[in-house]
Amino acid sequence: MFRPGRWIMHMDMDAFFASIEQLDNPQLRGRPVVVGGEHRGVVSTCSYEARRFGIRSAMPVAEARRRCPHAVYIRPRMQRYAEMSALVRETIARFSPRVEMASVDEAYLDATGLERLFGPVEAMGYSLKEAVKTATGGLTCSVGIAPVKFLAKIASEQRKPDGLFLLAPEAVPAFLAALPVTAVPGVGRHFAAELASMGVKNCADVSRYGADFWQRRYGKAGAVLWARAHGEDPREVVPWSPPKSESAEVTLDEDTLDRELLRTWLLRHAERVGASLRRQGLAGRTVTLKIKYADFRQITRQVTLDRRVCSTESIYETACAILDRLELAGRVRLVGVGVSGFEAGAPAQLSLMPEKAAAGEEEKKRDKLNMAVDALRSRYGTKAVVRGRLFEGGSGDHEAEAIQAERAEAHRIRERR
């Protein structure tokens, strides 16, 4: 059933953002802490003290405040979290040549055949936990160890926080038999409801119907459900895979029809997306504008350019051009910008841009300017250089939690697929 001697380890930091805040500010330790927006943003994460009140990631902050008004609500510090994530990544990379960062706070490691270096795989897990705690100055993580990837992830959730759970091959059948189908990656709320109507509540219930039945009725999703319910997962630990897109978005404090306000946010997003692309050496041909209205209707509009771009100005002007052509169907609740269509090589000029940015020389000047700004911010902080439009309107850093939370949720959805 399983490849002999194969071990996959899943490391998941415990309440990562909130734990960092408690680490940096000892007065917050033992108190319910929520990292998120002030009004209509979402919860990025919360401490375990806050979770006792039913607060969870991606919950609207307004709902969190109703459940726990005495919690400490903190604006996210994304740069600090990124620094700690990099430190964790460097630490766990010493344990295996095959490490896959699943998000800023979780990773898979291929622990197969490493017994001679670290001893039994369980001992390796405890050593990794201690190394992470030492490197970060006290942050804890939970580790799951299993023969396949999806079981390792489920295992890491069994002993949270600061725990370790090893699921040996011989224990998998009994573990799966009692495992709710809602714990299987890919089984969402609607799928779970339909399964419940069929009397399928645990993985053992899946075997009431054959593999062909699941394939015919639900296609790929059914086939995956059957495989996971029987402990099958052929996926390997992939050390790195090219990103498909980079995006930023925010839920506004108030619904608006103010296009100037939307343009200001487009500039903020273009700065975040452009800086991230430049750090990764990426550039993309497709710029996407995302709009969510007050009634939660959502639309996306995109333009595919002749050449690749990563400069803040090019991303911003393209997004503004899309917005200018869009007739708003109501007040806007959320606005976002994304860049995709990455190719190898250096960025080049646009052709579908306002006239002032059409020439290749102008685009080269923009690239040089952006790299200089990136260098200054890297050395002196993100507020060392602020564009005039953003300086007048405020930095907007307090909205980053919405971006991070939605990215995290998007990643979880991809992972379950």
Active-site positions read: 106
Tell me the C-alpha distance between 142 and 125, whole Å.
9
Tell me the C-alpha distance between 3 and 11, whole Å.
21
Alpha helices, H only, 137-242: 149-156, 172-177, 189-197, 203-206, 211-229
Closest CA to 147 of 128, 129, 121, 123: 121
Q: Strand, helix or coil at 404?
A: helix
3-state SS record for 47-91: CHHHHCCCCCCCCEHHHHHHHCCCCEEECCCHHHHHHHHHHHHHH
Tell me the C-alpha distance between 58 and 357, whole Å.
38
Residue 299 contacts residue 249 (beta carbons within 8 Å) = no
> Token pair for residue 72?
């400490």
Residue 72 contacts residue 53 (beta carbons within 8 Å) = no
